[in-house]
Amino acid sequence: FAVTHHLKEVGVFSTEINFKEVVPMIIKNGTIMNPATQTIISGDILIKDDKIIKIAKSITPSESEEVIDASGLVIAPGLIDTHIHFRDPGFTYKEDIHTGSLSAAHGGVTTVICMANTSPTVDNVPVLEDILQRAKAEDIRIYQAASISHSLKGETLTDMKALKEAGACGFTDDGIPLKNAAFCYKAMEEAASLNVPISLHEEDPAFITNNGINHGDVSEKLGVYGSPSIAEESLVARDCMLALRSGADVVIQHISSGRSVELIRMFKAQGAKLHAEATPHHFTLTDEALLEHGTLAKMNPPLRTEADRLAIIEGLKDGTIDLIATDHAPHSVEEKSKPLTEAPSGIIGLETSLSLGITSLVRPGHLTMMELLEKMTINPAKLYHLPYGTIEEGAAADFVLFNPDETWIPTEYASKSSNSPFTGKELYGKIKYTICRGKIVYEDGEEK
């Protein structure tokens, strides 16, 4: 048996002490892509006791070692998703820690960071510790962000120092913007002193009549006044300036507007420690998807225009946007069956994120495979001080093995929910294995 644990670095809390048998394993004949070193080699990987022991052109297996033939497959670090909702506690009819973990494994994701807008909110140590304790039973690595404000009201700061010491890897009121600029700045200063990221949902409700729907030609066809892009841009502009002044690592979550991309680019050039997330749905779809998919294409912030989509892709290409995260947001069929203006916003994304990156970014030539993987592995690892996202001797044995040229069609999900506009769409990039801590946690065609 192996005692699996991870390094207690700055901002990293050990949520994993699992006593599970891990059989020594060799992954043979794969194309090993390591974004941390920008290297591509063909070869084998020997895994033992949840660590990478050896990487070589060829390794001869012993009788005691399990062998995975990775011929024709890319071997990449396990994906790290910095923005997901497992709805646990409080909304477990949509998702829970276990089904969310299964969904992640099916999508090649070995590490997730959960948002704090649960019920009760993750604004105190007991709630945080309960989640982290229950997360130990799962096969993937689960981290938890705590809320910036008590009860997500944007009025009183949580005890960020105590929450970090108890295991919070960052802070966010995701789902609700911080409307008070002075309060937001104070939170940034505290996050900077603790050396943890602070992530912001940028939508000023004063501009919004119906959220989740871009205000424009499509919303006019639908007869509703939606959410104009200035709702995002106005807060992004403010918070870019606050980031520059505070010195904090500030994450602009699920960016949707081309003007927001320009603002982040400009303030990054001035030295602000800004990071931006792009979701697969924002770089793949436009608000035209509402006409085809209805509430399945409703999310906050909304899908916007083709010009915005292309600007997000440009931001990914030049590094202005350094993270790809799903904002995995499960809802029930009954909730998404409500009228467009009444249904909740959000879609699931863990099981399709890599394929959408390959289909919408790599195959059209916008990003190389290495650039895509960089934004889904080593960049989030560095931001959150996680000892993952790399393939080297001594590193954690977390991998996704996939065929970038094989197509598949998502029809069913490991998630409790199925609210996705990508159901039934042909995608490139078939995941064959997900390995976490040296253990196969997903194998194509076989439940683990």
DSSP string covering 144-188: EPBPSBGGG-SSSB--HHHHHHTT---EE-TTS----HHHHHHHH
Beta-bridge partners for 250: 198, 274
Residue with the two structure tokens 């919408």: 360
How many C-alpha atoms does 302 have within 13 Å on its Cβ side? 32
Q: DSSP class of residue 362? A: I
Give the DSSP letter string of 315-343.
HHHHTSS-EE---B----HHHHTS-TTTS
- Catalytically annotated residue among 44, 249, 327, 398: 327
Please tell me what DSSP assigns to residue 251. Answer: E
Query: CB-based contacts of 191: which residues, under 8 Å, 6+ apart?
Result: 160, 170, 171, 197, 198, 248, 249
Secondary structure (3-state) at 109? strand
| Closest to 82 (Cα-Cα) out of 244, 276, 258 | 276
**What ranges make up the beta strands (E) of 168-257?**
171-172, 198-200, 250-252
Whether 434 contacts 441, CB under 8 Å: yes
Write the single-letter amino acid at 126: P
Tell me whether residue 287 is one of the annotated catalytic residues.
no
**Two structure tokens written together for 349:** 């994304």
Of 56, 85, 114, nearest in space to 346 by CA: 85
φ, ψ for residue 288, nearest 5 deg: -60, -25
Backbone angles phi, psi at 82, to 5 degrees: -90, 5
Structure tokens at 393: 């001797």
Residues with Cβ within 8 Å of 353's Cβ and at least 6 positions away in sequence, in order, are 79, 81, 107, 109, 280, 324, 326, 376
Q: State the catalytic residues.
A: 327
